[in-house]
Amino acid sequence: MHWLSDCPKASDAKKVTLRLKLREASKARGSRVKRLKRLMPAASRTVTINDPDVQQTLLDTPVQCLPFGSHPVVAKTQALLHVLIHTAAGPVEPAEAVPCLVVDMDDD
């Protein structure tokens, strides 16, 4: 493997045409990424509740974590949720329900 400029077999004219092809391919990849960014959902979109009958189950042992700053929170219950994840390739829905921790916390 070697660089295009160091290729002993390609003529100067062939090198120029190959450089143009590579540049066009690079531009095409860049435009594809820009289109995907427009299709991605906004970051402000978090949760849509489709089933108001979601049941919480009590955990055997509470789970303590530090989700932000130095404010510990404790999750005492969990819920099994069917989630829909929005990706660049399109929406993805796992086959089984995902266990999610439920934290009861004031917004203060």
Q: What is the pLDDT of residues 53-108, one digit of tens each?
A: 788 899 999 999 887 777 788 899 999 988 888 787 888 888 998 999 988 776 65
24-49 pLDDT, tens digit per residue, is 877 766 655 555 555 555 655 556 66
**Sheet (strand 98-103) strand order:** 56-65, 73-81, 98-103
6-19 pLDDT, tens digit per residue, is 788 888 888 888 88
Please give the backbone phi and psi of residue 34, each rounded to the nearest 5 degrees, phi first.
-60, -40
The Cα–Cα gap between 36 and 39 comes to: 5
What tokens appear for 45 in the block?
């979109």
Please give the backbone phi and psi of residue 39, each rounded to the nearest 5 degrees, phi first.
-85, -15
Locate the domains of the chain by residue range. 7-39, 56-103
